[in-house]
Structure 1
């Protein structure tokens, strides 16, 4: 029985990775945008008649809907399970892509790609990580979260060249039709493998003293209303807005940025950036398990700020080195991807697994708002100035602010409920928690724990 349960953990993990490999079509938007822009400038019957300044709007709205649908999807995942939630995601993504395959209308694309596909991505994505984390001990939180979300980042490795081929062979509308049918089948199929562990399940390798002795451990499960009342939540929201928004700003336009030096091979930059994106998710998860989340996140933000400012002369050069462009894209993707591994882990560490789906969904709104604001700002500045310089300068400054905010985060919170006994491994002595807590709920936000400072 234990062997069967152990195997299900890995099945759920890789099924979640597979779902994210399909949903990661979002990161290939810059290639679709290039095809739309070419159609706008070429004109003719059936051409896209869009304002150049609005080319990123379906992508921006998709980021926003993706993020806010995570709140509903997270609640759905917590209440009725990951299988139904992921299945609904597959249906919505498929319908959205099928809808835009029939038209060049700007508003339909915003609804189809932005609203429907965005919401579908949110439902599928929210169902992938929570069940996987529940099958493994806390010591593997970063690794498992990194593996699952790596699928989303890695998707462009195959979707970028595939999109380039389909666009040249079948055109943009038929390409969307093919993607819509394929992803509907893949996501809905893999959703059948998404299951939570049975009640009372204790992950193999969970060797905490409370688990061994069968004693109740101090609870750290926060409800959504309790979570948003903590100052830590709002600081983390601001940091996520910065880290995700600046990364999405580059991802949404990377093909156009690379076009000058790489020509028709610009899709290669998108694919290689995806490798960095996925690598950042896995490596940051592993490193944060060892050295702490805060230290890892602050280092990532500082590194990203340096890259943003370093990219300015390269982006403005008349004949930029293709190798340098690819390297910049890879490392920017790496740092962006790290956010998508660290913030789920931070959410679980600080506010527990009981309401993880909806709690992370609420925090994830920062990702969507950041992507919406930064990608729109970048496209508007580009249309006005003809350069990405202003966007990269603003991003660099914001990332430095984010690093400072990260280091200001207080240690992990602990909430104690009536009848719960503190354990020494929480950084407290038995004198601190040797008696049952009499109050119904006590918020220990001010307690500085000696361990797990990340």
Structure 2
């Protein structure tokens, strides 16, 4: 009998189903815990301000400072992802986040607050959540790229609805320090053991995108047939070349204003809702429900973007944040449940869908072996927006006694973000599968 000379695939590729969905499942759990750990900063802000008497701008600045540090390391994270894959990058994020949460109960002065819940948690979250996953998940899917990513990112909604109310109850019964300790242990126990399952791309374990076999990209795969601009697509897009294009800077501008709007409301909405008369548990509920209603929004709009284009879904996400800010301004008159529901629905169903198309937008313009370094550099602008939003919103409130001006700035920024992606025009480089 002749011996079987076929190459033996690594063990992940021998599982009885497409390993890409294992990667998506691990990403789902990671997002559920890691994003919630960062989002919980909004729950910690009121008791921290009450205990230490810090100004709102100073307290919110810790979140922003962590984002600024993340911006400095993002290009390095992109290069590390290109060379070593997600296990190193996300594993480092898990260690940093857990350390920050477990050390936070011992803080007593602002610099310790900035170092733990700011730098360690903020920087670690950047290495373990949206940015890091956007660096490698687009490699695993072509035909269902945005849909697959949206399913992974929907984990953030599940984590929020399950964990945020629980963490708020811990804060109320045992204090914010106990909440930090619990969060740090969750990061270690739930994410840590899953990191070894991650791979940068299917080819690393003998597979192809979308589960196709070697040499067969499947019926309808968006290969050469989806290219609109052959000259652009044929370029070997290094970071240096990308930096010399207008598209790179349009994307940087769009990502800056998107995260400005995203994190300004995420950090301040709990304190704001409590101040205008909502109960603390209702305010925590609102923060959690935003994330849970994001689940159908991300999946449906991710599916929509695979059929009708990334620009459309990005614009809808920007509109969602603009509506949520308008509702918050209207809530100045006092508690109003219909307006609260509108704010939650617009922010979650529409706004959070931006995450499902961030990676595909960049991948379809700058696809290639240096995609991680390019996306990591664009992430500097994304993180800068996430840092500027909470800090500037808090500073404007400290100076004026109101959030109104800050909310109006965010609405204007949403318009800029929407227009910038239309100008970057990924549709003019590659068609989405539904239009190929």
- TM-score normalised over the length of structure 1: 0.81
Query: Are the structure 2 counterparts of residues 395 and 52 from structure 1 closer, same or farther at C-alpha, using a change threshold of 3 Å?
Result: closer
Q: Which structure 1 residue ranges, 5 or more long, are not aligned?
A: 40-47, 415-425, 427-448
Point out the structure with max Rg over C-alpha.
1
2 CA distance for matches of 1:228 and 1:73? 17
- What is the aligned partner in structure 2 of residue 95 from structure 1? 99
| Cα deviation code 1:259-304 (max 9, x no counterpart) | 2342132211111111234444333221111110112222332343
C-alpha deviation, 1:71, in angstroms? 2.2
CA contact (8 A) 2:289 2:344 kept: yes
1:392 aligns with 2:407: yes
Instruction: Measure, in 1, the Cα distance between the counterparts of 2:107 and 2:239.
Output: 40
Pairing 1:88-127 to 2, within 5 Å after superposition:
88-125=92-129, 126-127=131-132
Residue range with higher mean Cα deviation, 171-180 or 225-234: 171-180
Match of 2:30 in 1: 19
Q: Deviations over 1:282-336 (max 9, x none)?
A: 332211111101122223323433442343122x113x21342133133123333
What do residues 405-452 of structure 1 show as CA deviations (whole Å, max 9, x unaligned)?
A: 3333345576xxxxxxxxxxx7xxxxxxxxxxxxxxxxxxxxxx8998
Does the CA contact (< 8 Å) of 1:141 and 1:289 recur in 2? Answer: yes
CA 1:13/1:452 → structure 2, altered by over 3 Å: closer, same or farther? same
- What is the alpha-carbon distance in structure 2 between the residues aligned to residue 171 and residue 161 of structure 1? 14
Pick one of 178, 186, 191 that aligns with 2:182: 178
Distance 1:453 1:364, change over 3 A: farther
Instruction: Please say if residues 157 and 288 of structure 2, whose CA atoms lie closer than 8 Å, have aligned partners that are also in contact.
Output: no
Query: Is the 1:220–1:350 Cα contact (8 Å) retained in structure 2?
Result: no
2:247 equivalent among 221, 229, 232: 232
Instruction: Work out the CA distance in 2 between the residues paired with 1:131 and 1:5.
Output: 23
More helix per residue: 2
Correspondence list, 1:131-142, <5 A: 131-136=136-141, 138-142=142-146
Query: Which of 288, 292, 303 pairs up with 1:271?
Result: 288
Whether the aligned pair in 1 keeps the contact of 2:143 and 2:433 (CA below 8 Å) is: no
Corresponding residue of 1:44: none
RMSD of aligned residue pairs (Cα, Å): 2.9
1:240–1:339 contact (8 Å) kept in structure 2: no
CA distance in 2, matches of 1:413, 1:350: 9
Q: Give how far 1:194 is off.
A: 0.7
CA distance in 1, matches of 2:161, 2:194: 20
Using the TM superposition, give the Cα deviation of residue 10 of structure 1 relative to its aligned residue in structure 2, in angstroms.
0.8
Residue in structure 1 matched with residue 376 of structure 2 by the alignment: 361
Aligned twin of 1:28: 40
Counting only pairs closer than 5 Å after superposition, residues 371-410 of structure 1 correspond to structure 2 as: 371-410=386-425
- For the 8 Å contact 1:16–1:129, the answer to whether it is kept is no
**How far apart are 1:155 and its partner, in Å?**
2.9
5 Å matches for 1:297-312?
297-312=314-329
Instruction: Provide structure 2 residue ranges, at least 5 long, that are not aligned to the other structure.
Output: 1-8
Q: How many residues align?
A: 407
Q: Is the 8 A contact 1:301 1:402 kept in 2?
A: yes
Matches within 5 A, 1:202-351: 202-203=208-209, 204=211, 206-207=217-218, 219=234, 222-259=237-274, 260-265=276-281, 266-314=283-331, 316-318=332-334, 320-351=335-366
* Superposition deviation, residue 5 in structure 1: 7.4
- State the distance in 1 between where 2:67 and 2:250 align: 21
| CA distance in 1: counterparts of 2:173 and 2:267, whole angstroms | 23
Shift of 1:396: 1.6
Change beyond 3 A, Cα 1:225–1:364: same
- The Cα shift of 1:398 comes to 2.2
- Number of the residue aligned with 2:203: 198
Q: Is this contact kept in 1: 2:323–2:346, CA < 8 A?
A: no
Contact 1:86 1:188 (C-alpha < 8 Å) held by counterparts:
no
Please report how far the alpha carbon of residue 36 of structure 1 lies from its aligned counterpart in structure 2 after TM superposition.
1.0
Separation in 2, partners of 1:332, 1:321? 17
- Contact 2:93/2:126 (8 A) holds in 1: yes
CA contact (8 A) 1:273 1:330 kept: yes
CA displacement 1:16-60 (0-9 Å, x = unmatched): 111111211212221110111222xxxxxxxx2423331201211
Provide the rounded CA distance (Å) in 2 between the counterparts of 1:398 and 1:391: 11
